[in-house]
Chain A
Amino acid sequence: MSLMSFENVVKVYPALRSALPGARRGAGRRLAVDDVTFSVGRGESYALVGESGCGKTTLARLGLALIRPTSGRVRFAGADVHRMRARELFAFRRRVQMVFQDPVGALDPRQRVWSAVEEPLILHGKGPPRRRLEQVARLLEVVGLSAEEGRRLPHQLSGGQRQRVVIARALALDPDLLFLDEPVSSLDVSVRAQILNLLCRIRRERGLGLVIISHDLGVVRHVADRVGVMHAGRLVEEGPAGGVLASPAHPYTQALLEAVPVPDPGARRPPPAQPPPEPVDPARGPSRGCLYAPLCPRAQGRCFSRRPPLRPLPGAAGTPPPPGAGPGRLHLVACHHPER
């Protein structure tokens, strides 16, 4: 049973109105999310990967009902998130939280740490002030912040501490689903591991579902059950994390994996067969065919004319789907010439 599902979601950002007369109408419209369908189960950890600007963050904002989709829908526990009434939306907000990408921007510069963590508790009427403060103290402890650090202002904290505050705040309401937008990209390596382990622990303890947005494949390998690969606003490959990362089928995923630097120079891989992918501007790409075709070494005629649907990899990779597993367990790819 999926907790949140995206169904054919499309988000077009309108063009900025141009001051120049005669500018083409509709020029500069940006197709940020192009017909994306996927779902996240209860307690599942789903990672969205892809280069910056491919629409990952837009998907998160759609999932949190911060923006409305141009078409398609997002369901949470069966209900359309963007058609909720104020009361339903408020209940939804308690259950779906987000850890924002930039821990500097995500905290009000004038709000002390404990106040930032207490805010969701106040908004959702969680008990009298005394109880709330106890809860804040507990949350700070969970993320490893001291009471003294709780009295500070955001600018008096390090990047790692700020990220912990953002996480404590997101956990305050004991949500069922947590979006994490590049949760560790602003942190240095030692803090990164601490935060990731913290997230894994909380996930185990609370049965929390995660949607992790990241371009860091190391992070994805560490925490994700399933991976969705996005390119130019489209989901191009999806499947169990092990399968997708070990045997990517889409040429874009392959290029993405090859672009990861190898930490051990002795274990150098053969040089990539192609340059790392250039970001593709969705507005300028071929709108009908595969958006990766201009960069793809395997592209053929129909790649430029027909959009490849997301479908199960022919002869599904290695492990046959266990009995009773939903379609979510399948390895899907949107490519006319997937590689095994």
Chain B
Amino acid sequence: MARAGGWAMVAAGASLLLFLTAAALAGPWLAPSHPDEISLEESLLPPGPGHPFGTDYYGRDLLSRVLAGARVSLAISFSAQLVALVIGVSLGAAAGYFGGWVDWLVCRLVDIVMAFPDLLLAIGIAASLGPGPSSVLLALGLVGWPGLCRVVRGEVMALREREFIDAARVAGAGDWWVIRRHVLPNVAGPVIIATSLGLGSRILQEASLSFLGLGVQPPTASWGSMVHLGLRWLSRAPWLVVFPGLAVALAVLASNLLGDGLRDVLDPRLSD
């Protein structure tokens, strides 16, 4: 029962995420016009046949801009989550496997990062690196790893007690071999779950940071900066906020569905 529901969530989340990614990649061909093309006589047109999502103050086609924004927002969030994945898995595996002072050090590092509100820390890092997509990417990656790290550390600590780890040692395996061949493959499930759940947070955080003007700079579109720009016209042209906001919500929903579904499907503790 839980499994069937899990698979449905995985299917829904994955197809939605795939759809958004495909739309982002195909954006330049799908878009009715260039996202930065200004046409002042078409300022603030409501959604209609010529402009399915309407236009903004400068007469730029909103659909084209949402598609262009998808490229930027998804690329940054995906890469940021990749950075978080690499840091979280390596530190978590090292802490869980070696224990002792390595574990102590990693845990204190996790404590420090988690002591700050994620967004505040990301803003701090991004601001100190200077505005721009690469600093946002790095900031989000540096903020996003502790959750994964904890998951991996716990799983690895439990795995260490399993006899097959000793069996590998007796067969002559060294630490690196044991980690690569026996530890990491066995934490893949929880890591995949935590990664897709984390992706949702990364998308939301990327939107927040670019809302605050820390991401890509105008005129390049991103979902967060489009919402920011639209706020000024909220009462006259609500579509300026609604469409990019909807895009963010859909992307977050998709990755959360995927993560929760995968948890139902993969986590043996939830299945019989």
Whether A and B are associated in the same complex: the answer reads: yes
B171 within 8 A of A: yes
What is the size, in residues, of chain A's interface with B at 8 Å between Cβ atoms? 27
Task: Check if B167 sits within 8 Å of A100, measured CB to CB.
Answer: yes
Q: Which residues of B contact A97 (CB under 8 A)?
A: 170-171
A108 to B163, CA, bound (A): 9
Q: Which residues of B contact A221 (CB under 8 A)?
A: none
Task: Check if B163 sits within 8 Å of A169, measured CB to CB.
Answer: no
Proximity bits, B170-199, A CB within 8 Å = 1, else 0: 111100010001100110000000000000
B169 within 8 A of A: yes
Q: How far is the CB of A213 from chain B (nearest CB, A)?
A: 14
Q: Which residues of B contact A102 (CB under 8 A)?
A: 163
Chain B residue nearest to A89 (CB atoms) is B172
Q: Which residues of A contact B170 (CB under 8 A)?
A: 64, 66, 93, 96-98
B164 within 8 A of A: yes
Chain B residue nearest to A61 (CB atoms) is B166
Taking beta carbons and an 8 Å cutoff, which residues of B are in contact with A?
162-164, 166-173, 177, 181-182, 185-186
Task: Check if A169 sits within 8 Å of B173, measured CB to CB.
Answer: no
What's the dominant secondary structure at chain B's contact region? helix
Q: Which residues of B contact A101 (CB under 8 A)?
A: 163
Q: Which residues of B contact A94 (CB under 8 A)?
A: 172
Q: Which residues of B contact A96 (CB under 8 A)?
A: 170
Q: How far is the CB of A234 from chain B (nearest CB, A)?
A: 25
Q: How far is the CB of A279 from chain B (nearest CB, A)?
A: 22
A323 within 8 A of B: no
Known contacts A108-B186, A109-B186, A110-B186, A123 near B172 by CB under 8 Å: yes
Q: How far is the CB of B183 from chain A (nearest CB, A)?
A: 10
Chain B residue nearest to A90 (CB atoms) is B172
Chain B residue nearest to A121 (CB atoms) is B171
Other A-B contacts than A93-B171, A105-B164, A119-B168, 20 sampled, CB-CB below 8 A, are A61-B166, A64-B170, A66-B166, A66-B169, A93-B170, A97-B171, A98-B167, A98-B170, A105-B163, A106-B164, A107-B167, A108-B164, A108-B181, A108-B182, A108-B185, A109-B186, A110-B186, A111-B164, A123-B177, A124-B172
Chain A residue nearest to B186 (CB atoms) is A110
A119 to B168, CA, bound (A): 8
Closest 3 CB pairs of A and B: A105-B163, A120-B171, A123-B172
Task: Check if A100 sits within 8 Å of B166, measured CB to CB.
Answer: yes
Task: Check if B185 sits within 8 Å of A106, measured CB to CB.
Answer: no
A210 to B169, CA, bound (A): 19
Task: Check if B162 sits within 8 Å of A105, measured CB to CB.
Answer: yes
Q: Which residues of A contact B181 (CB under 8 A)?
A: 108, 119
Task: Check if B177 sits within 8 Å of A107, measured CB to CB.
Answer: no
Task: Check if B171 sits within 8 Å of A106, measured CB to CB.
Answer: no
Q: Which residues of A contact B163 (CB under 8 A)?
A: 100-102, 105-106
Q: How far is the CB of A280 from chain B (nearest CB, A)?
A: 26
Known contacts A105-B162, A110-B185, A93 near B167 by CB under 8 Å: no
Chain A to chain B contacts (Cβ below 8 Å), 23 pairs: A66-B169, A93-B169, A93-B170, A93-B172, A94-B172, A98-B170, A100-B163, A100-B166, A100-B167, A102-B163, A105-B162, A106-B163, A107-B164, A108-B168, A108-B185, A108-B186, A111-B164, A111-B182, A119-B171, A123-B172, A123-B173, A123-B177, A173-B171
Task: Check if B172 sits within 8 Å of A169, measured CB to CB.
Answer: no
Q: Which residues of A contact B172 (CB under 8 A)?
A: 90, 93-94, 120, 123-124, 173
Q: Which residues of A contact B166 (CB under 8 A)?
A: 61, 66, 100, 106
Chain B residue nearest to A125 (CB atoms) is B172
Known contacts A105-B162, A105-B163, A106-B163, A123 near B186 by CB under 8 Å: no
Q: Which residues of A contact B167 (CB under 8 A)?
A: 98, 100, 106-107, 166, 169
Interface centre among A61, A100, A172 (most CB of B within 10 A): A100
Chain B residue nearest to A110 (CB atoms) is B185
Q: Which residues of A contact B173 (CB under 8 A)?
A: 119, 123
Q: How far is the CB of A307 from chain B (nearest CB, A)?
A: 32
Q: Which residues of B contact A124 (CB under 8 A)?
A: 172
A172 to B167, CA, bound (A): 13
